[in-house]
Amino acid sequence: MKVTEAKFVQDFIDLADEGYRMGWHERNGGNLSYRMKDHEVESVRSRFRFYGEWHPIGTSVPGLAGEFFLVTGTGQYFRNIRKDPESAIGIIEIDETGENYKIRWGFIENGFPTSELPTHLMNHEVKKRVSGGKHRIIYHAHTTNVIALSFVLPLKDEIFTRELWEMATECPVVFPEGVGVVDWMVPGGRAIGVETSKLMEQYNAVIWAMHGIFCSGETFDLTFGLMHTIEKAAEILVKVMSMSHHKTQTITPQNFRDLAEGFHITLDERFLFEKPDKSIPGTKE
């Protein structure tokens, strides 16, 4: 089978297109990776290149030894992925030490995987372990409203989670575990990957202050849906904040407890703290 005809490749490209249309991928902003299933590797193996060198990943992910990933290329524009997938995306194999990768398909024209490969792979390693192998997708997007909030809200998991939850009743149902927040750091290396993957132990979404978000999920739909839900909640909060520094009414901690019961979800009490007043954190003069 041609690699570009495989369903997982089509789904990957669809997500990239959709994310571009949402306005989350200016220029080469954002990146995407998918941990392939064994039968998917076999279905396209005849198209693999068997030459090429091993390249250092820049970190160590022994939990991913021998795995294959479809990933976006560094410097590649999401808007071009459908037009020219063989340049913009590629399949890499991880060696048995978990420290090197080899390009097996794609990245023609001397391309390489995303500069955020260390973060993607460290997140995959954590998620593969904690989800019992179910999570396969890591998606990084430059979501406008989440980025805007990171200039104003205090950079705390509890505050971002609570404020986003309050913006739409279904938010705690979509991300009951909350969201993590990483303070500003230099992107593109191991250090930010270490901080992000620590938070991925408990969250499926981690915000990078003044930069964007990383989401993890089992399927392309669930991962995109998580990104979309968080960014929409952030957009509502930005609109609320543009009208007022405080909420006249909101969803209360007891409302959340009732919701948890009705939807059979667990919401950590850490996010259901009492607030001193109705002002939005970070907005008081």
Of the candidate residues 11, 18, 29, 219, the single one contacting ligand 13P (CB under 6 A): 29
Kindly state the helix (H) or strand (E) to which residue 101 belongs, with its residue range.
Answer: strand 100-106
Verify whether residue 116 is a known catalytic residue.
Answer: yes
Q: In this complex, which beta carbon is closest to ligand 13P, that of residue 28 or of residue 229?
A: 28
Q: Is 31 in the site for ligand 13P (CB under 6 A)?
A: yes
Nearer to ligand 13P, 43 or 115 (CB): 115
Residue 79: alpha-carbon gap to chain centroid: 18
* CA distances (Å), origin 91, targets 12, 14, 45, 88, 240: 12, 17, 10, 11, 43
Among 114, 150, 216, 223, binds ligand 13P (CB under 6 A): 114
CB-CB contact of 34 with 12 (8 Å): yes
Q: Is 189 in the site for ligand 13P (CB under 6 A)?
A: no
Measured in whole angstroms, the distance separating CA 51 from the mean position of its chain's CA atoms is 31
Q: Which is nearer to ligand 13P, 192 or 280 (CB)?
A: 192
In angstroms, the first-to-last Cα distance of the chain is 61
Stretch that binds ligand 13P, among 28-36, 56-64, 221-229, 257-265 (CB under 6 A): 28-36
**Which tokens sit at 183?**
């303070």
CA 227/CA 72 separation, integer angstroms: 18
The stretch among 78-86, 110-118, 127-135, 143-151 that binds ligand 13P (CB under 6 A) is 110-118
Question: Tokens 């980025």, residue?
Answer: 147
- Interatomic CA distance for residues 265 and 100, integer angstroms: 40
Catalytic entry in 40, 93, 116, 195: 116
- Near ligand 13P by CB under 6 A, which window of 25-33, 39-47, 232-240, 247-255? 25-33
* Interacting residues toward ligand 13P by CB under 6 A: 28-31, 72, 74-75, 114-116, 140, 187
Active site residues: 116
